[in-house]
Structure 1
Amino acid sequence: MNAMSMEHQFQESMKRPRPITVLLGILLAAYLLVPMLIVIPASFTSGSFLQVPPDGFSWRWYIEVLEDRRWFQALFTSFQVSGTAAVIATVIGTLAAIALARSSVAAKVFRPFFFLPMVLPIIVFALGLRQAGQFAGFQGSLVPLIVGQAVLCLPIAFLTLSSGMVAIDPALTRAAQSMGASWWRTVWSVELPLLRRSLVMGFILSFAFGFDEVVLALFLAPPGRSTLPAKLYNEATQNVSPLLASVSGYVILVTVIAVVLVLAIMKATSRRAARRLATDKEKP
């Protein structure tokens, strides 16, 4: 048996699903989905207490959320803060991944620094940002909260973009530079288009992580500007009502719609790129 046939058998064996892998996947999916299967039915209860199974069926709590503008304000603040922080983290992570991919020595030295926010005690970090924000004159502003979320999201964006950079053939960059393209032209015309999927995933993961952050919001949000997770936490400490479950139902619905739209856009983009490639091949 030669080396090529052994490699082919190994690849075929890796493609076949293993029972233990399938079982672990089912258990993990169940562990992640069970909370939603509990929260969503409980949000349709007609009673005044959060219980499963629900006490009757009613849209009462969903309507009450729609009639309370404070939840919309909290949701808007969450989108504003998390969206801005995700953009900042994705931009910095992209620039860092592109720069470090050009130098193995610099990558060994500076790469660990981008993962330091993952080991920072969040409460200490929040207190430090609060003091720094007051010293810089940002009282009553969302800037400290945005900066804090961007710092916490940076490792996620950097890791995602670094993985995308590894998949890019270095020969493409060298070919562009040999034809006279500048560093910025090479990045803009060659590397960024190839990093499109990683950019989208880095932004989505950063946004999701920042959107769910509670500690920074509790310490850094200005008076009257609470994020949705922070408002949920404050409401849960006072009264656990079906209203919290209905808010969670809205969040789950918005998340599912956003994921479906992103997947549809990425699929349409892939099809368009495949058609363009096929058209280019057909040209003489």
Structure 2
Amino acid sequence: MTPAVRHSGRTWLLPAYVALVLVFLILPVCLVIPMSVSETSYLKFPPTGFTLKWFASFFASPAWIGATLRSVAIGFWASLLATVLGTMTAFALRRSTRWDRLIGGAFLSPQVVPVIIVALGIMLIFNRFHLYGSMIGIVMAHGMLALPFVVINVATGLRQRGETLALAARVMGAGPFKAFWYVTLPSLRASIVTSAIFAFFVSFDELVVALFIMGRNETLPMRIWANVRDDLTPVVAAVATLLIFVTVLAVFLSEWVLHKPAREKQAG
């Protein structure tokens, strides 16, 4: 048997490996959905019967709804803060000099340092400035955690297309502000929108920092953690199911925005 034939005989190994990894990642998520409609008052798989009462319990609970709305509000403002600051940072560090790379590395520190250490440091600072348990404090903290993802994403988009188009606009006589506002910023639309969506979910899903600095003002992850620790009812599975569908919808929205310029280019 020739080497080419032997190599072709093993081409199934990589697809099989990818399939196993996907099953390992997706299977726990898929198990949550049927448990959310089980009639038992505790988490059980396979589920017994079919009921939507756990979804009704979620929507009828002021504690669950309050925590959800609080997380949505925090995620929105944290995403806005991280997107604005991250876009400005990526634009400021676009030259990729030694100092730019050094400062850019500093912006990645929230993802390098263990999150519990970050949470402890934030709690000490917030106690000093009377921000413990405040919406402003958690928005600032979550914005900081999401900032590295925005910087990386927007900087990548800027290197791919934004800087070249801006230089062309300057050659054609546009000033720095017009080149940025009418050329660079629209060219980064997909990267900015994708970063904003990702930043929102970074904030929405964050637990450790919220546990340290939010006190009794529960976010949705804090409420889920409390339920898992104390009751472990199928309401948790119902909430997780809703979050799964919302996350999948957001991923499709992000992909649609990301590939929209290519579709418009092909249509043109």
Give the shorter-chain TM-score range: 0.7 to 0.9
Question: Is the counterpart of residue 153 in structure 1 residue 183 in structure 2?
Answer: no
Cα pair distance change 1:184/1:128, threshold 3 Å? same
Cα pair distance change 1:55/1:169, threshold 3 Å? closer
Tell me which residue corresponds to 1:179: 172
CA distance in structure 2 between the aligned counterparts of 1:247 and 1:140, rounded to whole angstroms: 24
Instruction: Please point out which of 39, 42, 47 is paired with 1:49.
Output: 42
The percentage of counterpart residues that share the same residue type is: 31
Question: Is the counterpart of residue 138 in structure 1 residue 122 in structure 2?
Answer: no
Tell me which residue corresponds to 1:242: 234
Cα pair distance change 1:106/1:189, threshold 3 Å? farther
Instruction: Please point out which of 47, 53, 66 is paired with 1:60.
Output: 53
Shift, 1:258, TM fit:
3.3
TM-score (structure 2 length as normaliser):
0.87
CA distance in structure 1 between the aligned counterparts of 2:84 and 2:14, rounded to whole angstroms: 36
Shift, 1:260, TM fit:
3.8
CA offsets per residue over residues 12-69 of structure 1, 9 Å max, x none?
xxxxxx5444223322221221012111111111111211001221112111112112
Instruction: Please point out which of 208, 211, 219 is paired with 1:215.
Output: 208
Instruction: Please point out which of 71, 84, 96 is paired with 2:77.
Output: 84
Tell me which residue corresponds to 2:24: 31
CA distance in structure 2 between the aligned counterparts of 1:83 and 1:126, rounded to whole angstroms: 20
CA offsets per residue over residues 174-209 of structure 1, 9 Å max, x none?
222223323222221111111111112211222222
TM-score (structure 1 length as normaliser):
0.82
SS of alignment partner, residue 168 of structure 1: helix
CA distance in structure 2 between the aligned counterparts of 1:126 and 1:181, rounded to whole angstroms: 45
CA distance in structure 2 between the aligned counterparts of 1:99 and 1:216, rounded to whole angstroms: 28
Cα pair distance change 1:161/1:265, threshold 3 Å? closer
Does the CA contact (< 8 Å) of 1:42 and 1:242 recur in 2?
yes
Within 5 Å, give how 1:228-267 maps onto structure 2.
Answer: 228-264=220-256
CA distance in structure 2 between the aligned counterparts of 1:110 and 1:173, rounded to whole angstroms: 23
Tell me which residue corresponds to 1:15: none
Cα pair distance change 1:21/1:202, threshold 3 Å? farther
Paired AA for residue 114 in structure 2: P
CA distance in structure 2 between the aligned counterparts of 1:19 and 1:87, rounded to whole angstroms: 45
CA distance in structure 1 between the aligned counterparts of 2:13 and 2:143, rounded to whole angstroms: 38
Unaligned runs of 5+ in 2: 1-10
CA distance in structure 2 between the aligned counterparts of 1:248 and 1:140, rounded to whole angstroms: 25
Unaligned runs of 5+ in 1: 1-17, 279-284
Paired AA for residue 58 in structure 1: T
Cα pair distance change 1:137/1:170, threshold 3 Å? closer
Cα pair distance change 1:209/1:46, threshold 3 Å? same
Tell me which residue corresponds to 2:219: 227
CA distance in structure 1 between the aligned counterparts of 2:224 and 2:102, rounded to whole angstroms: 41
Shift, 1:236, TM fit:
0.6
Number of matched pairs: 258
Instruction: Please point out which of 99, 116, 126 is paired with 2:109.
Output: 116
CA distance in structure 2 between the aligned counterparts of 1:183 and 1:158, rounded to whole angstroms: 21
Cα pair distance change 1:269/1:175, threshold 3 Å? closer
CA distance in structure 2 between the aligned counterparts of 1:228 and 1:249, rounded to whole angstroms: 14
